[in-house]
Amino acid sequence: MAQHARNPDQTRESLLLAAFEEIYHQGFRQASLDNILRRTGVTKGALYHHFPNKMALGYAVVDEIIVPHGETRWRRLGDESLNPIDTLIEIGEEEPFPFARDVKLGCPINNLAQEMAGIDAGFQERLNRFLDRWRNAIEFALQRGQRAGQVRHDIDPREVAAFMVGAFEGAYGLAKCAGSEEVLETCLNGLKSYANSLRAMEATP
Amino acid sequence: MAQHARNPDQTRESLLLAAFEEIYHQGFRQASLDNILRRTGVTKGALYHHFPNKMALGYAVVDEIIVPHGETRWRRLGDESLNPIDTLIEIGEEEPFPFARDVKLGCPINNLAQEMAGIDAGFQERLNRFLDRWRNAIEFALQRGQRAGQVRHDIDPREVAAFMVGAFEGAYGLAKCAGSEEVLETCLNGLKSYANSLRAMEATP
DNA sequence: CCGTTAACATACCGACCAGTATGTATGTTC
DNA sequence: GAACATACATACTGGTCGGTATGTTAACGG
């Protein structure tokens, strides 16, 4: 039989992308390897040459696709030249993922976290680590803002950070269930108002 | 063979409860009918006597167990003798479900909503209807609070309601992924602070 | 040119799963 | 007490799934 083009990196990459799609639409446990193979034209032998099992493929999707892309969103929070509240609001207004074309699919990270937490420790640890780093990034940015006089001093940065991440993921979750861009807009507007309420009062000179 | 006790109502009820447990732990699609039958001692013939298929069993769990119990939480928001912000804070401090003994299992409604939205219209419609009613209950309570001078007039009740429901479910989602009561506490404290910030300023006489 | 290995391809397996076919015991009605 | 419906029980089916066993082909080092 005609062998396909032999390019291991490319094969691996297309498997990761197809697996991401399948997992994003179906969840990890409902994701079918046969579907992924059908999507790519890769055969089962090739798949199991690159990954020892389904779990490892799932972990690779998280480690190499979902998490790196998610992190680019809040990386900017570390920029000390910016007002952290402005940055938070900008982040909220951006398109979340290039993946997430459709609000009906929700947030890939939240989807997986809700599905796999309590089921598989490997997934849970990866996703929780991501969410924890996200919370920390916000927390540190708010602390910096407090020192710079941009953020109110009567708020607890750790508490606000956890609340904001929760509210953000919750907004995408609600919108997914509602299947509605409008619900997402409404929730995110609420989040934006909240973020603005964290600003330190301008000292009117 | 020795027939079991013939009590159709009881059989149906125990199926619903076992199905709820299985779905709560595994999600609907991963829930195994054989597991449910094993949990109850009910046989497959009995199950399919009471429900035409797995989907109908799942819908019944939502309609007869999950939604009714969820609604008891915010039913109180309609009480006009109470300050709606006090009520919201109290609701946030209550134990969420008698089901939800364990923060690691998350919120049954959110779990199902995230799993089944976009997969099955019957589930999605039921869960979205619930969440929509919840948002409306908060919205109306806030409007009433505004008229009564208990809630600030510079907020949009609809926006705040969506934001709060999202933040609430998001808090349970984060805590589930973190597997941590502490994360839940932190998020809910943030939500509580937010709720307090909605109070109308006391007119100092 | 030969041996070895990486990179696949094909065929198959046992487990599980939703659903069904068929049988049977029990209570109710006339 | 016969007819009938309800409330089950048992055994089985077709399909899907993750995973494996066993090839085969191409590239490459010596």
Structure tokens at A7: 């390019």
Domains and CATH numbers, chain A: 8-196 (1.10.357.10)
Q: Would you say residue B62 has pLDDT above 50?
A: yes
CB B88 within 8 A of CB B141: yes
Q: How far apart are CA A102 and CA B127, in angstroms?
A: 19
Helix (H, G, I), strand (E, B) or coil at B49: helix
Across A177-192, average pLDDT? 97
Nearest by CB: B162 against A106, A162, A174: A174
pLDDT in tens, A104-140: 999 999 999 999 999 999 999 999 999 999 999 999 9
Nearest nucleic acid nucleotide to B8, CA to C1' distance: D7
Across A175-196, average pLDDT? 97
Across B117-141, average pLDDT? 98
Residue type (1 letter), A75: R
Q: Which of A163, A180, A197 to mutate to test the interface with B (most CBs of B within 10 A)?
A: A163
Q: Would you say residue A97 has pLDDT above 90?
A: no
Report chain B's terminal Cα–Cα distance, integer Å. Answer: 81
Q: What pLDDT is stored for residue B2 in this prediction?
A: 41
A63-92: b or e for each residue (b if 16 or more CB lie within 10 Å)?
eebbbebbeebbeebeeeebbbbebbbebb
Q: What pLDDT is stored for residue B172 in this prediction?
A: 97
Nearest by CB: B159 against A25, A30, A186: A186
Q: How far apart are CA B134 and CA B75, in angstroms?
A: 9
Q: Would you say residue B135 has pLDDT above 80?
A: yes
Nearest nucleic acid nucleotide to A1, CA to C1' distance: C9
Across B18-41, average pLDDT? 97
Q: Is the Cβ of A117 closer than 8 Å to some Cβ of chain B?
A: yes
Q: What is the count of residue pairs from A and B with beta carbons less than 8 Å apart?
A: 162
Q: What pLDDT is stored for residue B205 in this prediction?
A: 44
Q: What pLDDT is stored for residue A6 in this prediction?
A: 74
Tell me the longest C-alpha to C-alpha distance in chain A: 81
Q: What pLDDT is stored for residue A1 in this prediction?
A: 40
Q: What pLDDT is stored for residue A8 in this prediction?
A: 84
Q: Strands, DSSP E only, in chain A?
A: none
pLDDT in tens, A51-86: 999 999 999 999 999 999 999 999 999 999 999 999
Crossing angle, helix B67-74 and helix B108-116, to 10 degrees?
120
Is strand D within 7 Å of residue B3 (CB)?
yes
DSSP alpha helix (H) spans, chain B: 8-26, 33-40, 44-50, 54-61, 67-74, 84-93, 108-116, 121-147, 157-178, 181-196
3-state SS track over A133-151:
HHHHHHHHHHHHHHHCCCE
Q: What pLDDT is stored for residue A39 in this prediction?
A: 95
Across B50-69, average pLDDT? 97
Q: Is the Cβ of A104 closer than 8 Å to some Cβ of chain B?
A: yes
Nearest by CB: A27 against B115, B127, B170: B115
Eight-class DSSP state of A3:
P
Helix (H, G, I), strand (E, B) or coil at A164: helix
Of residues B102 and B60, more confidence is placed in: B60
Across A8-22, average pLDDT? 95
Across A192-204, average pLDDT? 86
Q: What pLDDT is stored for residue B177 in this prediction?
A: 98
Helix (H, G, I), strand (E, B) or coil at B6: coil
Instruction: Give the helix/strand (H/E) hosting A182.
Output: helix A181-196
Q: Which percentage of chain B shows pLDDT scores above 70?
A: 93
Residues of A in contact with B189 (CB under 8 A): 156, 159, 163
Crossing angle, helix A54-61 and helix A121-147, to 10 degrees?
10
Q: How far apart are CA A59 and CA A123, in angstroms?
A: 7
Q: What pLDDT is stored for residue B201 in this prediction?
A: 82
d(CA B49, C1' D4) / Å: 17
Nearest by CB: A158 against B131, B167, B186: B186
pLDDT confidence band for B1 (50 / 70 / 90): very low
Complex ipTM = 0.92
Could you tell me which chain A residue has the CA closest to the CA of B106? A114
Q: What pLDDT is stored for residue A95 in this prediction?
A: 78
Q: Which percentage of chain A shows pLDDT scores above 90?
A: 88
In strand C, the nucleotides that come within 7 Å of a protein beta carbon are 6-12, 16-23, 25-27
pLDDT in tens, B2-14: 455 678 889 999 9
Structure tokens at B178: 């973190």
CB B3 within 8 A of CB B17: no
Q: Is the Cβ of B29 closer than 8 Å to some Cβ of chain A?
A: yes
With CB atoms and an 8 Å threshold, state whether A114 touches B118.
no
pLDDT confidence band for B153 (50 / 70 / 90): very high
Which residues in window 71-100 of B are less than 7 A from strand D by Cβ?
none
Across B106-113, average pLDDT? 97
Q: Would you say residue A94 has pLDDT above 90?
A: no
Residues of A in contact with B127 (CB under 8 A): 177
Eight-class DSSP state of A200:
P
Average pLDDT, chain A: 93
The phi, psi pair for B184, rounded to 5°, reads: -60, -50
